[in-house]
Amino acid sequence: LGGVLLPFQAEAVKFGLEHGGKFLLGDEMGLGKTVTALALARQYMTEWPVLVVAPAPLCIVWQEHALTWLAEDLGPQDVTVVRSSSDSPPKGTKMLIVSYNLISEGKFQRRPCDGKDWAVVILDECHMLRGAKSQRSQAAIPLAHR
């Protein structure tokens, strides 16, 4: 990891590992949820590529944090931000970052590299999935259940 986690972040990673990587991280804004999520995802590297779903304006932030905090594991060629439904991630992408709008269009429900289900998924700002019947929720919730 390209830095040292704060004690509460390390505790969150431990908690995540104890729960099979599936949990809701509800820390306050500014406490490093992105870094914590990346540290947890790193524990599952053997199951990568990882899918990060975030609000469109935050996709670049995720890319920057991934390249900073996972610099030992990822280079710029490994982290792809998809901006359009017509974009295709390059082969060998280890982290695919997409917006909620793109998954709402039915894109990237499976790994582009092999067509399998995603094993490692991060849903950032998941409060955006308020209505279970919304198109966004219908696309995102199955990703979280894998």
| For range 96-112, the mean pLDDT | 89
How far is Cα 121 from Cα 133, in angstroms, rounded to an integer?
Answer: 21
Q: What is the pLDDT of residue 68?
A: 96
Higher pLDDT, 143 or 132: 143
Ranges 25-29, 105-109, 128-132: which has the least confidence: 128-132
**Residue 24 pLDDT exceeds 90:** no
Residue 131 pLDDT greater than 80, yes or no: no
pLDDT beyond 80 at 16? yes
Helix (H, G, I), strand (E, B) or coil at 121: strand
Res 7 pLDDT > 90: yes
Task: Give the C-alpha separation, 46 to 131, whole Å.
Answer: 33
Question: What are the residues whose beta carbons fall under 8 Å from the beta carbon of 7, sequence distance 6 or more?
Answer: none
Q: What is the mean pLDDT of residues 13-36?
A: 92
pLDDT for the residue numbered 95: 97
The whole-model pTM stands at 0.91
Task: Provide the pLDDT confidence category of residue 91 given band limits of 50, 70 and 90.
Answer: confident
Fold classification of 46-144 (topology level): Rossmann fold (3.40.50)
So where are the chain's domains?
46-144
The arithmetic mean of pLDDT across residues 128-138, rounded, is 78
Q: At what angle do helices 33-42 and 7-18 cross, to 10 degrees?
A: 50
Closest CA to 4 of 95, 20, 13, 29: 13
